[in-house]
Amino acid sequence: MLELKNPSLLRKQSYIDGQWLDADSGKTFDVINPATGEVIASIADLGAAETRKAIEAADKAWPAWRNATVKERAKIMRRWFDLIVANADDLAKILTAEQGKPLSESKTEILYGANYIEWFSEEAKRVYGDVIAPPSNDKRIVVIKQSVGVTCSITPWNFPSAMIARKMAPALAAGCPFVAKPASETPLSALALGALAEEAGIPAGVFNVVAGKSAREIGEEMTSNPLVRKFTFTGSTAVGKQLQAQCAETIKKTSLELGGNAPFIVFDDADIDAAVKGAIICKYRNAGQTCVCANRIFVQEGVYDEFAKKFTAATNALKMGNGAEEGTEVGPLISSKAVKGVQELVDDALKKGAKAIAEGGPSSLGECFYAPTILSGADDTMRLFKEEIFGPVAPLFKFSTEEEAIRLANDTEFGLASYFYSRDIGRIWRVSEGLEYGMVGINEGIVSNEMAPFGGVKQSGIGREGSKYGLDDYLEIKYLCMGGI
Ligand code: ADP
């Protein structure tokens, strides 16, 4: 049983127009703890009709919310931020129960998400227009920025709280009401955010959470309803493409944060201990289930053996277990299906000549557990060179030259995060500019925070979350041509 200081955070109904609602059908679905297989709660299973209701409520709430002064919006958002911080321990417990990650990582995620609410509540005050030189003296050109309108989101299970916060915070700050559909594996964190939104005084209809088992049905309503002006998605590239195509019919603005295939490059001149430390956090955070996790680790031949040895020792020292237990560093994967998928990639690599130097694999801890694994001698014929592993498996690739490293790193349709370790200033500039990625970690294994622009290029997505650029995704530019002067 989940023991919470504030039990009202555990919600089983959806939050629409300031009210907690069951499904029209009366149906429910179970949320399962991946570490134990236990049912945490049975949740109202909503569909298209209730989604429509939420969208209509958001549309109704839009004029008052966009016309509130930025100071008013900022004040309410700040209250929401404070409440999330005050309830962070309970929110972390809920997150670990439904998602599996270690409690300390869950707490980090809750505070990380909250930071976006704080940041955008402040940043909303800094939306600037423009006055542009006119082509003739009888005119003036003025540019203003306004909220895009009703925004809907679909988010994945790997960051059940922060992925919503990262989208909702700039939307609300800009004046856009919001309808969130969390992943059906992890709706509880989203509903808890709804409970705190209500307590913070976010007006009815401005923030809504629709939980349901059929993502397709809810997604179809969100992407086809003409009242929705903006659709924002984090998830796989395949589903993102499909949703983008659905949005084309009504030309919605879209932001997409899709798959990654992050290279993590260690050059001969790197600080190897720092690179090992960076690789551990970058690879095994959330048991390897993040879109910015190191997917391919490229190590230059002069330091390959040293890096492999130290990285293997650090990997073997990681403690795997139930995320709710003290000291756990690697939790379960989200499902037994995920374990099977990871194993298929490992089998393919082993068949093609890779060698397991940290022999992890499926674990006796439970059907969702997969122990950290390192594969040496990986190459570009293996599936894991092209595909996102989404599990605690680290393939090591040996390379000779800087040019080869950049070529291999860019040999993918993805372009989200990339990382490299070097102490040479010339190389740092050359490689940073050569990597076709939205983000580059230089001597850093973690790059994301609310003050920086998170996002990808190529098939990793469109738009940026966080930073001063993050508001642009939720603002329209309007040009006022003032004549007769
Ligand atoms: P992941 O592998 O991270 O689960 P997905 O892209 O499959 O990535 O899922 C991300 C989110 O998209 C989840 O909330 C999921 O429920 C939702 N989703 C999956 N398929 C569809 C679909 N056809 N339409 C709308 N949402 C979908």
384-413 tens-digit pLDDT: 999 999 999 999 999 999 999 999 999 999
- In terms of domains, do 381 and 238 share one? no
447 occurs within a structural domain: no
Q: What is the mean pLDDT of the chain?
A: 98
Residue-range definition of the domain harbouring residue 389: 263-442
Give, in order, the Cα–Cα distances in Å from 87 to each of 78, 207, 212, 240: 14, 19, 25, 32
Residue that is written with structure tokens 């919470």 in the block: 4
**Residue 306: pLDDT above 80?**
yes
What per-residue confidence (pLDDT) applies to 220?
A: 98
- In terms of domains, do 173 and 272 share one? no
- In terms of domains, do 231 and 283 share one? no
- Residue 128 maps to which CATH number? 3.40.605.10
Mean pLDDT across the stretch 429-433? 98
Token readout for 330 is 């690697």
Q: How far apart, in whole angstroms, are the C-alpha atoms of residue 54 and residue 49?
A: 9
Q: Which of 98, 109, 221, 257 is catalytic?
A: 257
Looking at residue 401, its amino acid is T
Q: How far apart, in whole angstroms, are the C-alpha atoms of residue 312 and residue 314?
A: 5
Mean pLDDT across the stretch 322-328? 96
Contacts by 3-9, CB closer than 8 A, 24 or more apart = 3/93, 4/90, 4/93, 4/94, 5/87, 5/89, 5/90, 6/87, 6/90, 8/195, 9/87, 9/90, 9/91, 9/94, 9/192, 9/195, 9/196
Convert the pLDDT of each residue in 273-291 to its tens digit. 999 999 999 999 999 999 9
Q: What percent of the chain is helix, strand and coil (3-state, nearest 5)?
A: 40, 20, 35
Give percent of the chain with pLDDT exceeding 70. Answer: 100
**Residue 129: pLDDT above 90?**
yes
Question: pLDDT confidence of 1, banded at 50, 70, 90?
Answer: confident
**Residue 419: pLDDT above 80?**
yes
| Residue 316 near ligand 1, beta carbon < 6 Å | no
Give, in order, the Cα–Cα distances in Å from 92 to each of 8, 63, 243, 290: 14, 34, 30, 18
- In terms of domains, do 254 and 310 share one? no
Active site residue 257: yes
303 occurs within a structural domain: yes
- In terms of domains, do 269 and 244 share one? no
Convert the pLDDT of each residue in 94-125 to its tens digit. 999 999 999 999 999 999 999 999 999 999 99
ipTM, two decimals: 0.96
| Nearest alpha-carbon partner for 339 in 311, 309, 370 | 370
Q: Give the length of the chain.
A: 485
Ligand 1 pocket: which of 45, 154, 222 to mutate (most atoms <8 Å of CB)? Answer: 154
What per-residue confidence (pLDDT) applies to 454?
A: 98
| Residue 216 near ligand 1, beta carbon < 6 Å | yes
Question: What is the Å distance from ligand 1's center to 433 Cα?
Answer: 33
- In terms of domains, do 281 and 377 share one? yes
- In terms of domains, do 372 and 401 share one? yes
- In terms of domains, do 245 and 275 share one? no
Q: If you ran DSSP here, which 8-state letter would residue 42 be given? A: E
What per-residue confidence (pLDDT) applies to 168?
A: 98
| Nearest alpha-carbon partner for 101 in 317, 291, 325 | 325
CA-based end-to-end distance of the chain: 71
Which distant-in-sequence residues (6+ apart) come within 8 Å of 115 by Cβ?
449, 450
| Under 8 Å between Cβ of 405 and 298 | yes
| Residue 180 near ligand 1, beta carbon < 6 Å | no
- Residue 286 maps to which CATH number? 3.40.309.10
- In terms of domains, do 220 and 333 share one? no
Strand partners, 257: 234, 461
- In terms of domains, do 76 and 110 share one? yes
Cβ atoms < 10 Å from Cβ of 230:
24
- In terms of domains, do 429 and 295 share one? yes
Convert the pLDDT of each residue in 184-242 to its tens digit. 999 999 999 999 999 999 999 999 999 999 999 999 999 999 999 999 999 999 999 99
449 occurs within a structural domain: no
DSSP states of 379-430 as a string?
A: -TTSHHHHS---SSEEEEEEE-SHHHHHHHHH-SS--SEEEEE---HHHHHH
Counted domains in the chain: 2
What per-residue confidence (pLDDT) applies to 377?
A: 98
Mean pLDDT across the stretch 456-461? 98
| Nearest alpha-carbon partner for 398 in 483, 306, 298 | 298
| Under 8 Å between Cβ of 367 and 36 | no
Residue identifier of the C-alpha nearest atom 4 of ligand 1: 156
450 occurs within a structural domain: no
**Residue 249: pLDDT above 90?**
yes
448 occurs within a structural domain: no
**Residue 41: pLDDT above 90?**
yes
What per-residue confidence (pLDDT) applies to 266?
A: 99
Mean pLDDT across the stretch 27-37? 97
What per-residue confidence (pLDDT) applies to 175?
A: 98
| Under 8 Å between Cβ of 255 and 235 | no
Ligand 1 pocket: which of 236, 239, 292, 388 to mutate (most atoms <8 Å of CB)? Answer: 239
| Residue 212 near ligand 1, beta carbon < 6 Å | no
- In terms of domains, do 369 and 469 share one? no
Q: How far apart, in whole angstroms, are the C-alpha atoms of residue 382 and residue 384?
A: 5
Convert the pLDDT of each residue in 432-443 to its tens digit. 999 999 999 999
| Residue 154 near ligand 1, beta carbon < 6 Å | yes
Question: What is the Å distance from ligand 1's center to 345 Cα?
Answer: 21
452 occurs within a structural domain: no
